[in-house]
Amino acid sequence: MILDTFRLDGRVALVTGSSRGLGQGAAVALAEAGADIALLDRGDASETAELIRATGRRVHPISRDLVDAAPEDLASAVDEVVAELGGLDILVNNAGTIRRAPALEFAAQDWNDVLSVNLDAVFHLSQAAGRHMVASGHGRIINVASMLSFQGGILVPAYTASKHAVAGLTKALANEWAASGVTVNAIAPGYMATDNTAALRADEAREASIVARIPAARWGTPADLQGAFVFLASDAAAYVTGAVVPVDGGWLVR
């Protein structure tokens, strides 16, 4: 039955940036589809853990700060998931950060911090997870890209650079690992009502101009992405790889 191909029973997923927002939504959706979940976050992910336990699935929290985590720290996190939950089938690279300033004034530390979280950690976690997945002959890696994987944005040069790079990295890893049964895709959320967009939503003029351009006429929510996460993590998407899938309410086609 086709619906059975969307089930994730017996799978193990690692979700980064899982204490709130899109990461929490992804983790809960994967658990509801049947997966056990490891939560990698620098903060308190206890609320997400309780939501997962309520589905009857196992949950394992891991503390890492992706701003300064070394590649070996991220590799050890992946090894911990395998040891504690018995394997690793799905990696969701969701954690992200943003800093806003004109390019002429953009601080070097802000540039480094954004690239560390949004790009370096994505590669090192994917590399560590990919080693397990390629060896087992099955895996799903889902990166969180952005509308700024396609566009330039305003006052966010580091974020834009990182999200363009995430799109390229997704395609590069998809090319290398597809023959080993590992798919690598990205979801590009549109304008979502999360902490990262709080400043935009607080600016009445900017908020109004954004909503006016979205054909769906509203900001997205974490729930709007849950179906895409489950699909790309499932056997239903076994022949989908290297894709960057917009979930944007129509923003890009406007």
User: Is 146:170 a contact under the CB 8 Å cutoff?
Assistant: no
Identity of the residue numbered 120: D
240 CB burial (10 A radius; 0-12, 13-18, 19+): middle
Count CB-CB contacts under 10 A for residue 22.
28
Three-state DSSP state, 139: strand
CA distance 178 to 172: 10
Does the annotation count 239 as an active-site position?
A: no
Per annotation, catalytic residue among 35, 122, 159, 164: 159
Output the CA torsion sign for 99, 100, 106, 107. Answer: negative
CA pair distance 101, 117, nearest whole angstrom: 18
Closest Cα partner for 79 from 120, 129, 153?
129
Closest CA to 54 of 37, 73, 75: 37
Contacts of 207 (CB under 8 A, 6+ apart): 200, 201
Beta bridge partners of 184: 141
Q: Do 121 and 14 contact (CB within 8 A), yes or no?
A: no
Distance CA 225, CA 223 (A): 5
Q: What is the largest CA-CA distance in the chain?
A: 56
Active site (catalytic) residues: 159
